[in-house]
Amino acid sequence: MTTTTTTTTTSTSTSTSTSTTATVVAGSAGAVEALDGAEGSLAARRTRRRRGLAPGKRLPASRLTGPALVVVVWAVASAAGQLDPGAIPAPWTVLRTSGQLWSDGTLPTDILTSLQRAGSGFALGLTAGVALALTAGLSRIGEALIDGTVQLNRAIPTLGLIPLFILWLGIGETFKIAIIAIVVYIPIYLNLYSALSGIDHRFVELAEVQGLSKLRFIREIVIPGALPGFFVGLRLGVTGSWLGLVVLEQINATSGLGYMMFQAQNYGRTDVILVGLLIYGIFGLVSDSAVRLIERRVLSWRRTLNS
């Protein structure tokens, strides 16, 4: 059996050189002789399909399957009275609470405040991250000035900067936005900078041969080549803006989702905490999907590679 498979595969690669042709012909002749008797099983072997090792086709809406299952288990356990309503309230309780919070106006205000904080911090961090990465990635002087500094900044846990920033910027909105901006800019900078400086030297040669100016080289080769790396950083930055928010809204806030959740903790309202977590989760998911969508549009040339 094994000899059959080897001969069929080798005889396809005949064209390389005369010497290999010679051995292959001799080999297959011998093998055919040996397998004369086993003709029937040989045919069976050939029609049988190989076991595929790729994971196969993706299931429809596969990303939602897991979360949906969690919700179902949660609902069933609550209905069966297996969960302490004080610790984990039932899904419908959470829904009812969010309805109440929405209609009395507190939830819309909290969401808006949180969105504003995350949005401004993200915008600031994105701008800073891109500007710094471009400067460091495209000029040696910029690299010398910026890269070491950012690497140092990265080594300091950003949340550890909170006390200092409160003293510098006051305990209002400014320091919150500044901290979120720092959480966001670091992954964006790191990924974009490494993508810019890791440009394939073969493309540098090509640009020289084609007589591209420095500006066109950057615009037509360096930047498009760095976009995949930029999107990796962007997704990390988006998630980071939500992570920073939860912590920051504990500190001298009068509204926002984090504030709402910590107030609920004081009154033992687990349902309100779950509403907050749910909304954080939804926002995180939606913003990440939005970035993915943009990525797919912008990097459409990659799709052919993945399919």
Partner 1 sequence: MATHTEQLTTEAAPTVRLRGLTRSFDGRTVLDHVDLDLPAGQLTALLGHSGSGKSTLLRAIAGLDHEVVGSGGLSAPDRVSVVFQDSRLLPWRRVLDNVLLGADGKEAAERGRAALAEVGLAGRERAWPNELSGGEAQRAALARSLVREPELLLADEPFGALDALTRIRMHGLLRELWERHRPSVLLVTHDVDEAIVLADRVLVLDQGRIGLDLAIDRPHPRSYRDPLLGEYRERLLAALGVTEDHTEDHTEDHTDDKNDKDQEVHQ
> ∠ CA 142-145-149 to the nearest 5 degrees?
125
Contact call for residue 34 and partner 1 (CB under 8 A): no
Contact call for residue 25 and partner 1 (CB under 8 A): yes
Q: Which residue in the block uniquely carries the two structure tokens 């099983």?
A: 41
CB of 134 to partner 1, least distance (A): 18
CB of 293 to partner 1, least distance (A): 18
CB of 301 to partner 1, least distance (A): 5
Q: Which residue in the block uniquely carries the two structure tokens 């069976």?
A: 44
Phi, psi at residue 161, to the nearest 5°?
-80, -10
Between 202 and 297, CB nearer to partner 1: 202
Contact call for residue 29 and partner 1 (CB under 8 A): yes
Both tokens assigned to 153: 């900044």
Part in contact with partner 1 (CB under 8 A); list of ranges 22-30, 86-94, 149-157, 189-197: 22-30
Chain mean position to CA 187: 12
Packing angle, helices 39-47 and 2-12, rounded to 10: 60
**Binding residue for partner 1, selected from 33, 40, 53, 66, defined by CB under 8 A:** 33
Beta carbons of 80 and 72 less than 8 angstroms apart? no
DSSP helix/strand/coil, 82: coil
Beta carbons of 200 and 225 less than 8 angstroms apart? yes
Single-letter code of the amino acid located at 266? N
**How many residues make contact with partner 1 (CB under 8 A)?**
33
CB of 31 to partner 1, least distance (A): 11
H helix or E strand, kind and range, residue 134: helix 106-138
Contact call for residue 35 and partner 1 (CB under 8 A): no
> ∠ CA 229-199-232 to the nearest 5 degrees?
5
Part in contact with partner 1 (CB under 8 A); list of ranges 41-49, 150-158, 167-175, 222-230: 222-230
Contact call for residue 12 and partner 1 (CB under 8 A): no
Part in contact with partner 1 (CB under 8 A); list of ranges 14-22, 96-104, 168-176, 251-259: 14-22
Contact call for residue 19 and partner 1 (CB under 8 A): yes
Rounded to an integer, what distance in angstroms lies between the CA atom of residue 181 and that of residue 125? Answer: 4
**Binding residue for partner 1, selected from 44, 81, 160, 301, defined by CB under 8 A:** 301
Both tokens assigned to 226: 């760095």
Contact call for residue 139 and partner 1 (CB under 8 A): no
Contact call for residue 267 and partner 1 (CB under 8 A): no
* Residues at the interface with partner 1 (CB under 8 A): 15-19, 21-22, 25-26, 29, 32-33, 202-203, 205-212, 216, 220-221, 224-225, 227, 299, 301-302, 304-305
